[in-house]
Amino acid sequence: MRPPVRREVLRLSVNGEERELLVRPYATLLEVLREELRLTGTKHGCELGECGACTVLVGGVPQLSCLLLPAQVEGAEVTTIEGLADGATLDAVQRAFMERGGLQCGYCTPGMVLAARALLDANPSPTREEIREALAGNLCRCTGYAGILDAVEDAARSGR
Amino acid sequence: MTTPAAGREAGELHVVGKGLPKVDAAAKVTGAIAYADDIDLPGMLFCKLLRSQHPYARIVSIDTSAARAMPGVVAVITGDDLPVKYGIMPTCEDELALEHEKVRFVGDPVAAVAAVDEETALAACRAIEVGYEPLEAVESIEQALVSPDDEPIHGYAGPANVHRLAALEFGDVDAGFAEAAHVREDVFFFEGNTHLPMEQHSATAQAVGDKVTLWSSTQDPHYVHRALAKVLGLPMGSVRVVAAPHGGGFGGKCDPFSHEIAVCKLSLMTGRPVKCTLTREEVFYTHRGRHPVLMWVRTGVDRDGRILAMHFRSALDGGAYGSYGPASTLYTGALQTTTYAIPAYRFEGARVFTNKAPCGPKRGHGTPQPRFALEVHLDKLAADLGIDPVELRRRNYVRPFTRTVNWLRITSCGLGEVTDRVLEASGYEHRVKRPGHGMGFAVSSYMCGAGLPIYWNTMPHSECILNVGRGGVTLLSGATDIGQGSDTVLATIAAEELGLSPGDIRLVTGDTGLTPVDLGSYSSRVTFMAGNAAREAAARMRELLVRAVAEEKGCAPDEVAVADGRIGLIAFEEAAALAEARFGALSTRGSYTPPQGIGGRYKGAGVGPSPAYSYSAAVVDLDADGRSGEIRVNKVWLGHDIGRSINELAVRGQVEGGVYMGLGEVLMEAQAYRDGLLRQPSMLDYKSLTFLDMPEVETILVETLDPEGPYGAKEVGQGPLLPVIPAVVSAVHEALGVWVDEVPVTPDKVVRALDARAKGKEPRYGPKSFPQIPYPPLVKVAPPDAATAAL
Amino acid sequence: MLRLPPCSYLRPGSVEEAAELLSRHGERAMLVAGGTDLVPKMKRGQMEPEVLIGLGHLAELRAVTETEEGGFLIGAGVTLAEVSAHRRLAAAYPAYVRAAALVSSPALRNVGTIGGNLCVDTRCNYYDMSFEWRQACGFCMKKDGDICRVAPASKRCRAIASSDTAPAAIALGASVVLAGPAGRRREVPVDGLYRDDGQYYLEKSADEVVESVRLPAPGSWCSSYVKVRRRNTIDFPLAGVAVALRRSGPLVDDCRIVLTAVGSRPFDVSAAAAPLIGRELTADVLAGADGLLAEVAAEAAKVAKPLDNADLHYVWRKQMTRRAVEQAIVEAAGRLPVPTGRA
């Protein structure tokens, strides 16, 4: 039998709100977001780092929440899909996904939108190839990626 | 006929045909939408299933005592608790939610645990001791055809492990071959693959007393509803199934599943909500994906390449259970005739049981495999005759408003036009051939919904209720949006009829407790069937509103225009108040039943008929490496006869997604086994195309305005996948001069074909022969006479 | 949802302390930096540490510094994404930076570290499976079992070395600094870090921590890395070849070839490059005219003995190893400064 492990305090900022939680040190950020904070916008498709559905931004950088342990996000600023819009005003990436058919079932969408947001923050005018490269780890089974590519291009244009 | 023909010209339509954002898009880009696994009910328990680790074994004993004794475990059930068999097809109800006599594949569920959390449920599953007596597993089609030393996998059907046989002949095939100037035979194999929805299946049940509600990521809540009532022994009225917002189906969430039944049973036992979310690996075991199919095709043509006779044989590796198998089997032979006018046609099909995860319906259900075989076979035939492969096809294309030799009614048909358009856009006919580069062309056809329901009944296939009142406009439909955009389609149709915007329509869908029936999101049926039902309900509501306004204003109803949120000159809400005052509660109904006489009257005629067929043509441009066998697809042009786009954005998305999935299947996707175990039960090992593997797609939509489709619309969810697969194979042949007659066309197979050529052997990779199968005597069906054949 | 088994997470204040914690907790403990290899493997029961010793927070592991000799010292905690985006590293060590950029997917490279990639677990499709799958299979010697499933007669585990950066580092003559308890440090060539055993694949003591990677001054070496895999992202290598070339005048002066994913360790097969030494890599030679590249590639790939424990057919993987060697030589040659007197 494995010895029991005590919960530990995790302090982090989620979507701009400071959080102090008592979590298992082996609970991934995915579990913390979905099960402790009930932020279910972050999806899971494999929990092994193979599909990208659970992508969140940690300090503005796309990371897979299914692989992150609490210690790795201590004090970090985490952005989930619920935190991307500015109040009722959607982010340009969200609007573009709606308008250009960047989503169908919507399940990969939170991760895809966040990865696209991070790309545009780092590179406001990406080429189509750069968009493909940046989103390469986010699998989608519905769209054939075409609507997503168009949407990110549109969002880049509208952001300029 | 339940609805009028598509009467209005495009110019008169206000929202139909526009590329408006989908009605659920905002909820999806914000993360607000709650999928099945996002449901969290007070006091909820978590369920895990214990699954077989043997491909084939008799269960000798199950000891759950250690699991039951674990702290946090609330209930444990085994097959004894759910002894009623079920299955999607009434002819093969061969499944138990939890097996208690024997297991038939690695992953077959044998027990379920409800516990306070998932970890405890998992630990308890591991603590259940199952005694097994292994049996010799059946791992291939060939093996399944031989009488086993052990007992067959199922106690019905046969001989050996054959599940289902079919043998049909339409017209005089032997005479056709005798008359033929040239006859060619080919053998093909299509490896199985799976849906791989991004969302893992999830179901949550909540029982109150002896009534239970299930929220599930299902594509057809109605069939789940029926299975639950049967297995749980409850009246239909005591079971409610709600299709949760859906994270992708592609046919993989069309069967009633063990986890759905188990959570209902556990909730009824414990009085607490119970959730079960499958792991990705379990999704691979749940499967119901594309059948591996071995195919043999023989075609006789005259000197000009006109088909005189065709004989098509298929052998499907069905996996461990029946699922949709009888239909899957017939589908491998049904739609060859909807693209080509084949005057004499013989089909012999067989499905066998093997000890693998059960196969079922995946996008294109039973037709991508024969379409691949048929199109590549025609390419080879054309080469034999020295006729251009496109020209050979054109000479055989079906004509609109005709009846096929197997009695399928063809109505609108844009086959010639989609061909012209993709050839023109791609420059296919003017391509300059060079080694390592190839272009391929293929066509296909798909149904707009199955003409018959899965279980025999004469009720409508789709029903809608439209309510207008002080709470706004609400459309109730049993249809389930699985990402394809059916909610958007229904809202758009209702909005069009009522002069509103799609966003004005509140949708209540896929809830067997609240919504009238819809058979489900399968067979590309929703736009055509639920769309027609919604249009009928909305047209009736429109009539009431118009009448109320006309009477109020003292004018004739036909003087009242309906558009832009107004009924005549008054606002919609005001018109609704007038109508409510005049007629009472405003509720209208619409129903759709496919017309009679769209198919034949022979045994097996239930598979293939559809009120309409979509048509697709693809051109693929690729580079193939003559040394590594690696393929890089540069671009795909896909022409699709959509009838009419209800929402062009959604239609284009479906085309692009279909092309993507077809490319995945032809290039890499495979659900393969080694010693009874799945080789690739993960998203890393099961290869699907990434952003960096997906080429550009040019979508060309052709609108043929089907006379029976809503506003002329036809399907798009499945058809565009089909021609992509043979077009890639054809292009690889053009690039490298070798045929890969086996899907997926992986680089190692290409290299083996190249090696064969280098050694002076047949420049080909693929199956060598087709096995001897004990097909039954042919059922001979007289084709329609000339008068019937021309509609 | 897949979850990790209960384990505690320790935060050492320094690399030295991390080594001491490793020493203290012994086999119960494992190091974790980015966790991109470890976390999925823990979820599937392939690794079962009770104690995780975190390295991610140690600033001392996150520096890229230029050494006095003109090389670079890269902290083991530097992420693959940081290396991929590092312009000076890219100019000096194209093979290494290319290899880092080809690891997995962008989000994993944002977290995965170069130290982690050098130590990445060997892979096998009898091993990289869930507990239940492996149990159904009867387990294998790498975890919970006693035979090698892909080669039952083998006395050792045949899991596959899958680091992309290791062959590049070896070809470039890199070394790793290993830190042990009590300030003990040693530096070994990267090649010396590996053993040809899928189970015990690292040649380091249990209490050592990979602290940094030292890349020697690039001199006039030009390098390349070619990765064979099914998809253009995410996938591990089915074969990987790093080549480093140096020219003296128009003639090849030295050439190193290192393979990965063709056995249980990276293989330095530079001896196979002998026919290239003293030769001029003309366009014709690079186009394969006189069979020179094919000869070198065939010799280099001799060591590759793929088995049916990875994606695609093993014969094809062997064939592709040869081809990748040729490609890598061509790519490295393309980066060499054009000899004087030529266009």
> CATH number for the domain including B568?
3.30.365.10
Over 60: is that where the pLDDT of C332 sits? yes
Nearest to A40 among B34, B484, B697 (CB): B34
- Flag whether residue C152 sits within 8 Å of chain B, measured between CB atoms: no
Phi, psi (5° rounding) for residue B401? Answer: 55, 55
Give the gap in angstroms from C-alpha C5 to the nearest C-alpha of chain B: 9
SS3 at position C270: helix
Q: What is the DSSP letter of C202?
A: B
In this predicted model, what pLDDT tens digit does every residue of B479-500 receive, in sequence order? 999 999 999 999 999 999 999 9
Nearest to B198 among A48, A108, A149 (CB): A108
| Burial label, B775 (beta-carbon count in 10 A; 0-12, 13-18, 19+) | middle
Distance CA B520, CA B218 (A): 9
Q: DSSP string spanning B148-201?
A: PSS--SSSSS-STTEEEEEEEEES-HHHHHHH-SEEEEEEEEE--B----SSPP
Nearest to C7 among A5, A28, A68 (CB): A5
Q: Please give the pLDDT value at position B467.
A: 98
Decide if B678 is inside a domain: no
Which of A111, A122, A117 lies closest to A50, judged by CA?
A111
Note which residues in 99-118 of chain A have CB less than 8 A from chain B.
Answer: 99-101, 103-110, 113
Q: Which of C36, C41, C231 to mutate to test the interface with B (most CBs of B within 10 A)?
A: C231
Give the gap in angstroms from C-alpha B413 to the nearest C-alpha of chain A: 26
Give the gap in angstroms from C-alpha B677 to the nearest C-alpha of chain C: 8
Q: Please give the pLDDT value at position C7.
A: 97
Q: Please give the pLDDT value at position B12.
A: 86
Q: Do B281 and C311 touch (CB under 8 A)?
A: no
Percent of chain B with pLDDT over 90: 97
Over 90: is that where the pLDDT of C341 sits? no
In this predicted model, what pLDDT tens digit does every residue of B640-658 receive, in sequence order? 999 999 999 999 999 999 9
Q: How far is CA C296 from CA B570, B742, C268, in A?
A: 85, 34, 13
In this predicted model, what pLDDT tens digit does every residue of B696-726 receive, in sequence order? 999 999 999 999 999 999 999 999 999 999 9
Q: Do A104 and B657 touch (CB under 8 A)?
A: yes
Tell me the three-class secondary structure of C91-146, residue by residue.
HHCHHHHHHHHCCCCHHHHCCCEHHHHHCCCCECCCCCCCHHHHHHHCCECCEECC
Which residue on chain A is closest to B280 by alpha carbon? A46
Instruction: Report how far Cα B228 is from the mean position of its chain's Cα atoms.
Output: 22
Q: Do B692 and C230 touch (CB under 8 A)?
A: no
In this predicted model, what pLDDT tens digit does every residue of C196-238 receive, in sequence order? 999 999 999 999 999 999 999 999 999 999 999 999 999 999 9
Which residue on chain A is closest to C104 by alpha carbon? A137
Give the gap in angstroms from C-alpha C4 to the nearest C-alpha of chain B: 10
Nearest to A144 among B200, B245, B657 (CB): B657
Neighbouring chains of A at 3+ CB pairs under 8 Å are: B, C
Q: Please give the pLDDT value at position C127.
A: 98
pLDDT, mean of residues A109-128 = 98
Q: Please give the pLDDT value at position A1.
A: 67
Which residue on chain B is closest to A103 by alpha carbon? B25
Q: Please give the pLDDT value at position B788.
A: 81
Residues A98, B29: contact at Cβ < 8 Å?
yes
Decide if B577 is inside a domain: yes
Distance CA B416, CA B397 (A): 8
Distance CA B595, CA A137 (A): 47
Q: Do C104 and A137 touch (CB under 8 A)?
A: yes
Q: How far is CA C274 from CA B619, C253, C297, C299, in A?
A: 48, 10, 11, 10
Q: Please give the pLDDT value at position C318.
A: 97
Q: Do A147 and B656 touch (CB under 8 A)?
A: yes
Contact partners, residue B133, CB within 8 Å, separation at least 6: B57, B58, B60
Neighbouring chains of C at 3+ CB pairs under 8 Å are: A, B
Geometric angle at alpha carbon C103, from C100 and C105, rounded to 5°: 125
In this predicted model, what pLDDT tens digit does every residue of A32-72 receive, in sequence order? 999 999 999 999 999 999 999 999 999 999 999 999 999 99
Over 60: is that where the pLDDT of B140 sits? yes
Q: Count how many domains chain B has.
A: 1
Residue labelled with tokens 């199968």: B773
SS3 at position B51: strand
**How many Cβ pairs within 8 Å bridge chains B and C?**
69
Q: Please give the pLDDT value at position B11.
A: 59
* Beta strands B562-563 and B566-567, pairing class: antiparallel
- Flag whether residue A127 sits within 8 Å of chain B, measured between CB atoms: no
Residue labelled with tokens 């590519």: A149
Which residue on chain A is closest to B718 by alpha carbon? A142
* Mean pLDDT over the full length of chain B: 97
Nearest to A61 among C5, C110, C233 (CB): C110
Percent of chain B with pLDDT over 70: 99
pLDDT, mean of residues B103-119 = 98
pLDDT band at residue C343 under the 50/70/90 scheme = very low
Note which residues in 28-87 of chain A have CB less than 8 A from chain B.
Answer: 34, 38-48, 50-51, 53, 80-82, 84-85
Distance CA C320, CA C323 (A): 5
Q: Do B53 and C136 touch (CB under 8 A)?
A: yes
Percent of chain A with pLDDT over 90: 96
Structure tokens, C146: 């006693």
In DSSP terms, C248 is beta-bridged to C251
Instruction: Report how far Cα B644 is from the mean position of its chain's Cα atoms.
Output: 21
Domain ranges across chain C: 222-335
pLDDT, mean of residues C312-332 = 97
pLDDT, mean of residues B726-748 = 98
> Which of chain C's residues have a Cβ under 8 Å away from the Cβ of A24?
6
Q: What is the DSSP letter of B526?
A: I
Distance CA B172, CA B189 (A): 27
Distance CA B359, CA B661 (A): 17
Query: Where are the alpha helices (H) located in chain A, listed in sequence order?
Result: 29-31, 70-73, 92-99, 109-122, 128-134, 146-159
Distance CA B636, CA B443 (A): 13
Distance CA B34, CA B12 (A): 37
Structure tokens, A32: 């913390």
- Give, for C66, the enclosing helix (H) or strand (E): strand C64-66
Residues C58, C34: contact at Cβ < 8 Å?
no
Q: How far is CA C74 from CA C77, C106, C211, in A?
A: 8, 20, 9
How many CB atoms sit inside 10 A of residue A18's CB? 9
Q: Please give the pLDDT value at position B2.
A: 33
Q: Which of B284, B677, B749 to mutate to test the interface with C (most CBs of C within 10 A)?
A: B677
> Which of chain A's residues have a Cβ under 8 Å away from the Cβ of C107?
49, 52, 55, 62-64, 115, 137-138
Give the gap in angstroms from C-alpha C230 to the nearest C-alpha of chain B: 8
pLDDT, mean of residues B56-64 = 98
Structure tokens, C48: 């079962």
Decide if B158 is inside a domain: no
Decide if B208 is inside a domain: no
Q: Give the amino acid at C162.
A: S
Contact partners, residue A124, CB within 8 Å, separation at least 6: A156, A159, A160
Which residue on chain C is closest to A114 by alpha carbon? C107
Nearest to A25 among C9, C39, C110 (CB): C9
Which residue on chain B is closest to A113 by alpha carbon? B29
In this predicted model, what pLDDT tens digit does every residue of B195-221 receive, in sequence order? 999 999 999 999 999 999 999 999 999
Q: Please give the pLDDT value at position B5.
A: 40
Taking each helix axis from N to C end, the angle separating A92-99 and A109-122, rounded to the nearest 10 degrees, works out to: 130
pLDDT, mean of residues B429-453 = 97
* Mean pLDDT over the full length of chain A: 97
* Mean pLDDT over the full length of chain C: 96
Residues C72, C94: contact at Cβ < 8 Å?
no
Q: Give the amino acid at B585.
A: A
Could you give the domains of chain A? 8-83 (3.10.20.30), 92-159 (1.10.150.120)
Phi, psi (5° rounding) for residue C164? Answer: -80, -35
Contact partners, residue B746, CB within 8 Å, separation at least 6: B629, B667, B668, C230, C312
**How many Cβ pairs within 8 Å bridge chains A and C?**
114
Distance CA B264, CA B204 (A): 8
Residues B493, B234: contact at Cβ < 8 Å?
no
Residue labelled with tokens 């408006």: B20
* Beta strands B211-216 and B102-103, pairing class: unpaired
Over 50: is that where the pLDDT of C342 sits? no
Q: Do C1 and B685 touch (CB under 8 A)?
A: no
Which of B54, B109, B51, B104 lies closest to B79, judged by CA?
B109
Q: What is the largest CA-CA distance in chain B?
A: 88
pLDDT band at residue B4 under the 50/70/90 scheme = very low
> Which of chain A's residues have a Cβ under 8 Å away from the Cβ of B196?
141
Over 50: is that where the pLDDT of B7 sits? no
In this predicted model, what pLDDT tens digit does every residue of C241-253 receive, in sequence order? 999 999 998 999 9
Nearest to A26 among C6, C36, C56 (CB): C6
User: Where in the sequence is the domain holding B485, given as residue range(s)?
Assistant: 10-33+459-592
Pick the CATH number of C222-335 from 3.50.50.60, 3.40.50.10490, 3.90.700.10, 3.30.390.50: 3.30.390.50
pLDDT, mean of residues B509-527 = 97
Q: Give the amino acid at B597.
A: G
In this predicted model, what pLDDT tens digit does every residue of C20-39 receive, in sequence order? 999 999 999 999 999 999 99
